[in-house]
Amino acid sequence: MTAPLFLRACRGETTERAPLWLMRQAGRYLPEYRQVRAGVSFLELCKTPKLAVEVTLQPIRRFGFDAAILFSDLLVPLEAMGLAVEFTDEGPRLPQPVRTPADLGRLATFDPAARTGFVLETIAGARRELGDTPLIGFAGAPFTVATYAIEGKTSKGFGETKKFFYREPEAAHRLLALIGEATRDYLVAQVRAGAQAVQLFDSWVGVLSAEDFETYALPPTAALVAALRATGVPVIYFGNGAAAILDRVARVGADVYGVDWRLPIDEARARLGGARAVQGNLDPAVLLGPAAEIERRAREIVRRGGKRGHVFNLGHGITPDVPIEAVEALVAAVRSC
Ligand code: CP3
* Nearest CA owner, ligand 1 atom 23: 74
List all residues 6 or more positions away from 132 whose beta carbon is below 8 Å from its beta carbon: 4
CATH number of domain containing 93? 3.20.20.210
pLDDT digits (tens, 9 = 90+) for 185-210: 999 999 999 999 999 999 999 999 99
Domain count, the chain: 1
pLDDT digits (tens, 9 = 90+) for 108-132: 999 999 999 999 999 999 999 999 9
- What gap in Å lies between CA 10 and CA 259, rounded to an integer? 14
DSSP secondary structure letter of residue 20: B
Give percent of the chain with pLDDT exceeding 70. Answer: 100
Q: How confident is the model at residue 1 (pLDDT cuts 50, 70, 90)?
A: low
DSSP secondary structure letter of residue 318: P
Strands (E), the chain: 68-69, 86-88, 91-93, 135-140, 197-202, 235-239, 256-259, 277-282, 310-314
Q: How confident is the model at residue 2 (pLDDT cuts 50, 70, 90)?
A: confident
Question: What is the helix (H) or strand (E) element at residue 229, kind and residue range?
Answer: helix 218-229
pLDDT digits (tens, 9 = 90+) for 222-261: 999 999 999 999 999 999 999 999 999 999 999 999 999 9
Calculate how far, in angstroms, residue 6's C-alpha sits from the geometric centre of ligand 1: 22
Atom nearest to 199 CA in ligand 1:
12
pLDDT digits (tens, 9 = 90+) for 46-77: 999 999 999 999 999 999 999 999 999 999 99
> In the predicted model, is pLDDT for residue 292 greater than 80?
yes
Query: Which amino acids are annotated catalytic?
Result: 24, 28, 37, 73, 148
Q: What is the mean pLDDT of residues 144-148?
A: 98
- Mean of the per-residue pLDDT values of the chain: 98
Determine contact, residues 11/306, Cβ cutoff 8 Å.
no
pLDDT digits (tens, 9 = 90+) for 9-49: 999 999 999 999 999 999 999 999 999 999 999 999 999 99
pLDDT digits (tens, 9 = 90+) for 95-107: 999 999 999 999 9
Calculate how far, in angstroms, residue 90's C-alpha sits from the geometric centre of ligand 1: 12
> What's the domain range around 306?
5-335
> In the predicted model, is pLDDT for residue 306 greater than 70?
yes
User: Angle CA(210)–CA(211)–CA(216) in degrees, nearest 5?
Assistant: 105
Calculate how far, in angstroms, residue 24's C-alpha sits from the geometric centre of ligand 1: 7
Pocket around ligand 1: residues whose beta carbon is below 6 Å from it? 23-28, 37, 42, 69, 71, 73-75, 91-92, 138, 154, 201, 203, 316-317
Exposed, middle or buried by CB within 10 Å (0-12, 13-18, 19+), for 136? buried
